[in-house]
């Protein structure tokens, strides 16, 4: 029996959930689904500059799991760009940052951006 999957901590859901090529290029071709946890790994590593180790600490999963998620996400993004397919972000095993931690390290959730930590 395989181990149960751990929920990956995600700072916030993406503002845009679907990307499509212009000019109807993606019509009739099956869309690609990027899971929310794959999106978060891309956001943390490529946009925020986290290392895979820092990303794994933030998402509360093993570094090897982050590496697998990240590689899978990059493959999906490449496929969408090269083949002109619609890319949709949804689903996956994740839990949203609830803002209860004193410091979560994500730098993106509303509570940690707009509230000062209690002294």
38-96: per-residue pLDDT in tens? 999 999 999 989 999 999 988 889 999 999 999 999 999 999 999 889 999 999 888 88
Q: Is the pTM of this model over 0.85?
A: no
The whole-number average pLDDT for the span 3-30 is 80
DSSP secondary structure string, the chain? -PPPPPPEEES---S--EE--GGGTTTTSPPEEE-HHHHHHHIIIIIS---HHHHHHHHTS-HHHHHHHHHHHHHHHHHHHHHT--EEE---SEEE--S-SS--S-S-SHHHHHSPPP-
Say if residues 32 and 87 touch (Cβ distance below 8 Å). yes
For residues 2 and 69, the model is more confident at 69
Residue bearing the bigger pLDDT, 39 or 100? 39
Percent of the chain with pLDDT over 70: 73
Residue 52 Cα distances to 18, 34, 75, angstroms: 26, 19, 17
């Amino acid at each position: 029996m395989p181990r149960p999957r751990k929920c990956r901590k995600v700072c916030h859901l993406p503002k845009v959930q679907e990307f499509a090529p212009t000019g109807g290029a993606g019509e009739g071709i099956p869309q690609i689904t990027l899971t929310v946890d794959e999106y978060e790994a891309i956001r943390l590593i490529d946009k925020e500059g986290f290392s895979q180790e820092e990303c794994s600490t933030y998402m509360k999963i093993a570094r090897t799991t982050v590496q697998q998620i990240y590689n899978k996400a990059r493959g999906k993004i490449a496929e969408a760009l090269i083949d002109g397919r619609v890319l949709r972000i949804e689903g996956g095993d994740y839990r949203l940052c609830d803002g209860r931690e004193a410091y979560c390290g994500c730098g993106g959730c509303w509570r940690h951006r707009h509230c000062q930590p209690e002294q």
